């Protein structure tokens, strides 16, 4: 298994963890966050070693929020949770905050086994169905092009393509239909009214759920406490500006009070969403300045990735570093601070604008 650590790299800033709740030891154990709201932690096969999932108690079973990816260890953890804390009462719906494998990977398995509906944004369901389909025509060729344009070496390209196959294998066949949720909609889950907040940046149509009355935000990967969520440009949208999208997405949380309990998909629950957003904003501003400063002469995205992530020395690890760097480069290009120099058949180079 390739290491996926640069995906969600540790950064210097971090929220003080909430000490209100004991960290559930896994597999199979849960922590009660509030009446009818349980927290379980599932083991991931990445250096980022866990994902949090949330269980909302319904009259006839449970709403399950996120699933982990498809590994024997996570399936075993689910068996323990189903038989233990869920008291053999079934999931009545499965909701995915977004389509990344560690959130949606077992959605097809759980929905199929319990014959329950799948809930997510239409965009994330469609994206996941495409991104996790090993037979999708053209995807591999586009991935190779993207890596070549970024200046990667042959061994690095081969490792990335292999890693892609391994990642796809972590998602089961996904549900064939979706019960769509949209931005601004209110839904009742576990007896609570949740406002749906859909934001781009980390994923294209990521859904957070905000219980304003209860003061709880299920934040998925959008606002993690200890690490900066991956904001990355991949082969499918090479000219995208996900970092611009991510920074703009903070506005969608402007009316979330600061004492709200934030439930992130990785790390510990925390309070203080305002400070967290400010820290993420500052972090990316610093990274943008640093990236621009490296470009006094034309460099490839690979050159910049190795300079920005000096600890990445293996052919596997460069993929996420590259994708993060491309997000910063595309933001700098979009804001006129950096010029992109493209040549057919050669790696793209970037140089700072001297205006
Ligand atoms: Zn994610």
Taken in order 154, 10, 203, 334, the sign of the CA dihedral is: negative
CATH topology of domain 5-291: Metallo-beta-lactamase; Chain A (3.60.15)
* Average pLDDT value for residue range 44-67: 93
Buried b (16+ CB within 10 A) or exposed e, 159-189: bbeebbeebbbbbbebbeebeebeeeeebeb
Q: Which stretch of DSSP H or E encloses residue 278?
A: helix 273-293
The pLDDT value recorded for residue 226 is: 85
Q: Which residue has the higher pLDDT, 29 or 4?
A: 29
Beta carbons of 350 and 339 less than 8 angstroms apart: yes
Domain ranges in the chain?
5-291
Per DSSP, what are the bridge partners of residue 260? Answer: none
Count CA atoms within 13 Å of residue 168 on its CB side: 17
- What radius of gyration do the chain's Cα atoms show? 20
For ligand 1, the distance from its centroid to the CA atom of residue 51, given in whole angstroms, is 10
Q: What phi, psi does 118 have (nearest 5°)? A: -105, 135
Query: Is it true that the peptide bond before 27 is cis, omega within 30 degrees of 0?
Result: yes
Tell me which residue has tokens 């233990």.
84
pLDDT in tens, 102-126: 999 999 999 999 999 999 999 999 9
For ligand 1, the distance from its centroid to the CA atom of residue 339, given in whole angstroms, is 29
Per DSSP, what are the bridge partners of residue 262? Answer: 217, 270
State pTM to two decimals: 0.92
Three-class SS of residue 65? strand
| % residues pLDDT > 90 (the chain) | 78
> Cα 167 to the chain's mean position, in Å?
14
For ligand 1, the distance from its centroid to the CA atom of residue 340, given in whole angstroms, is 28
For ligand 1, the distance from its centroid to the CA atom of residue 341, given in whole angstroms, is 31
pLDDT in tens, 287-336: 999 999 999 999 999 999 999 998 887 777 799 999 999 999 999 999 99
């Amino acid at each position: 298994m390739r290491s996926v650590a640069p995906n969600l790299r540790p950064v210097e800033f971090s929220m003080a963890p909430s000490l209100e709740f004991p960290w559930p030891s896994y597999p199979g154990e849960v922590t009660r966050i509030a009446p009818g709201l349980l927290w379980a932690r599932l083991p991931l096969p990445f250096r980022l070693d866990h994902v949090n999932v949330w269980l909302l108690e319904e009259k006839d079973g449970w709403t399950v929020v996120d699933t982990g990816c498809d590994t024997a260890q996570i399936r075993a953890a689910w068996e323990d949770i189903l038989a233990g804390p869920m008291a053999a009462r079934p999931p009545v719906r499965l909701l995915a905050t977004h389509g990344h494998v560690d959130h949606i990977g077992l959605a097809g398995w759980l929905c199929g086994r319990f014959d329950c509906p799948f809930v997510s944004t239409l965009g994330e369901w469609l994206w996941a169905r495409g991104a996790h389909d090993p037979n999708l025509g053209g995807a591999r060729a586009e991935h190779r092009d993207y890596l070549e344009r970024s200046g990667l070496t042959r061994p690095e390209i081969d490792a990335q393509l292999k890693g892609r196959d391994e990642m796809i294998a972590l998602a089961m066949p996904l549900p064939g239909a979706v019960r769509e949720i949209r931005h601004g909609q209110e839904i009742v889950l576990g007896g609570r009214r949740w406002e749906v907040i859909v934001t781009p940046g980390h994923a294209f149509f990521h859904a957070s759920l905000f219980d304003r009355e209860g003061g709880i935000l299920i934040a998925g990967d959008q606002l993690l406490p200890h690490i900066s969520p991956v904001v990355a440009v991949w082969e499918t949208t090479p000219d995208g500006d996900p970092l611009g999208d991510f920074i703009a997405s903070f506005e969608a949380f402007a009316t979330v009070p600061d004492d709200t309990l934030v439930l992130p998909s990785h790390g510990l629950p925390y309070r203080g969403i305002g400070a967290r957003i400010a820290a993420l904003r500052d972090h990316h501003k610093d990274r943008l300045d640093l990236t621009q400063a490296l470009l006094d002469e034309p460099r490839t995205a690979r050159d910049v990735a190795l300079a920005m992530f000096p600890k990445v020395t293996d052919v596997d690890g460069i993929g996420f570093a590259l994708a993060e760097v491309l997000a910063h480069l595309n933001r700098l290009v979009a804001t006129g601070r950096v010029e992109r120099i493209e040549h057919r058949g050669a790696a793209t180079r970037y140089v700072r604008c001297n205006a």
